[in-house]
Structure 1
Amino acid sequence: MEYGYIRVSSTDQNENRQLVVLRGKGIPDRRLYIDKQSGKDFDRPKYKRLVRRLRPGDVLYVLSIDRLGRNYKEIQEQWRLLTKEKGVEICVLDMPLLDTRQGKDLLGTFIADLVLQILSFVAQSERESIKKRQAEGIAAAKARGVRFGRPPRPLPDNFYEIHTAWRNKKIVLRQAAEACGMPEGTFYAKAIKFEKKEQSTAINL
C-alpha cells in the first residue's frame, strides 16, 4: 500500500502544494495524513495514526524531509523505526537519493544515510533560524509598542457605580465582583488599575 504524509507548521498555512504532488502519485485521500503543527518533534496525532497503519512493504511518500520533521535526532530515529523496525519503504520526492527502494547495496545505503544526515541537519537549522527571526520580530514589534494577545474586554456598564460602592465600603469584594459578572481577582485587579489611572489623571490636572 502507498501512503502520503503532509505537514504544515500551523493551521493558517496551506497544504495544497503537497496535496497536489502526492495525489499525482496516485495516492487516494483516505491514505493521506495531514498534520498542522510544528516539526519540532513527532508528537503529532495524524503521524502517529499513520505509523500504526503502516505494514512491512508499504511505501510512504513525503514531499521533502522537512515535512517529515525538523529535529535532527528525531528524524534519524523515525527513519530507523520506519525502515528497520517496521520494514516500510520511504520516498522523499524532492530528493531521489532518499528513496529506500533504490540503491540497496552498500554504497547506495551509505550515500542515502549521508544525505539523510545532511538534510536532517539543514531542516533543524532552518527551524532554529525561523525561531530566531520570529523572536527578533516580536522584540522589535514590542519596542514599537505593538501589543500581542487578546485585546482586553471592556468594563461592564455598571463597573464605575459598583467600584464606587465597593471603595466606599458599602459592599464587599464578593458582591462587587458578582454584580459585574467577573471573578473577585479580576474585579480587584481592574479596580486597582482604574484607581491608578484616576490618580494619574488628577496629578496631570
Structure 2
Amino acid sequence: MTRYGYARVSTLKQDLQEQIDEIVAKGVNRDNIFAEKMTGTKSDRPQWLKLMKKVKPGDEILVTKLDRLGRSLRIILNEIDELTAKQVSVTVGNMTFDKGTPTGKLMLNVMASFAEFERDMIVDRMQGGRAYKRKTDPKYREGRKRRLTPAMVHAMREYYKTHTQKETAKAFNISPRTVGNYMGKPCK
C-alpha cells in the first residue's frame, strides 16, 4: 500500500504550500504528492490524471478538503467511483469514505454537495458584484485594464509611421501583435 497526496488551488496566485505541509504531516512522502494550480470544475487536470494512472489497488489518496478533488458534485462522485472501482481509498482530512456503507455514501454525497454549493455561491457573488458595478459605474469595464492610454496609442501611431512593427513594439514595451492590433495589421 502506498499513500499519495493531492493538492490543488484554482488560480496561479494561490499557494499550494499549506496543503502540501498538511499532507506531509499526515505521513505522505513529499515525492508522492501531486499538486497543481487549476480549476476544480474540470476533470482533465494533468497532475490528477497522472496520479490516477499511478495508483494501484490498496493505495490511499489523501486530500486536505473534499473540494480539492473537484468543485462539482458530478466530478467528485465520478472521481470517488473511479477510485473505489480501483480499490483505492480516499481520505479527506481525517475522514475516509467507505462507499460500501449507507453512512459513508450519505456523508460523501452531503460533503460533495456542499463543495458544489460553495462554488456556486462564489460565482453568484462575483456576478452580483459585476452587475452592481455595471449599473452604478458608467466607466466600469470587465477584464484586464488596458496597458496603453489613448495618448500612448497616439504616440505609438506616430512612431509607427517611421519604424517597423517590431521596433515600435520594443520602444513601447509591448508585443508586435499588440502593435498590429492597434494598427489594424497582422503581426509580421
Structure 1 length normalisation: TM-score?
0.70
Match of 1:68 in 2: 69
- 2:97–2:108 contact (8 Å) kept in structure 1: no
**Pick from 109, 115, 129: which aligns with 1:123?**
115
Aligned partner of 1:194 in structure 2 is: none
Residues 147-156 or 10-19, more deviating = 147-156
Identity %: 26
Quote the residue 2:20 is aligned against: 19
CA contact under 8 A between 1:177 and 1:187: conserved in structure 2? no
Describe the superposition over 1:91-142 as per-residue Cα deviations: whole angstroms up to 9, x where unpaired: 1115x2x344xxx8x6xx1101011111111111111110111122233344
Output aligned runs, 1:156-171, within 5 Å.
157=155, 159-160=157-158
SS in 2 for 1:18: helix
Q: Which amino acid counterpart does residue 35 of structure 1 have in structure 2?
A: E
Partner of 1:87: 87
Shift of residue 160 of structure 1?
Answer: 4.2
1:111 aligned partner: 103
- Rounded to whole Å, the distance in 2 between the matches of 1:162 and 1:78 is 54
**Structure 1 residue ranges without an equivalent (≥5):** 164-174, 190-205
- The answer on whether the counterparts of 2:91 and 2:97 sit within 8 Å (CA) in structure 1 is yes
Where do 5+ consecutive residues of structure 2 fail to align? Answer: 169-175
- Computed over aligned residues only, the root mean square deviation of the Cα atoms, in angstroms, reads 2.9
How far apart, in 2, do the equivalents of 1:10 and 1:132 lie? 18
Rounded to whole Å, the distance in 2 between the matches of 1:10 and 1:54 is 26
CA separation of 1:161/1:39 partners in 2, compared to 1, >3 Å: closer, same or farther?
closer
- With normalisation by structure 2, the TM-score equals 0.76
Aligned equivalents of 1:162, 1:20: Cα separation in 2: 52
The verdict on how the C-alpha distance between 1:159 and 1:186 changes in structure 2, with shifts beyond 3 A counting, is closer
Question: Aligned partners of 2:50 and 2:10: how far apart in 1?
Answer: 18
Bigger Rg, structure 1 or 2:
1
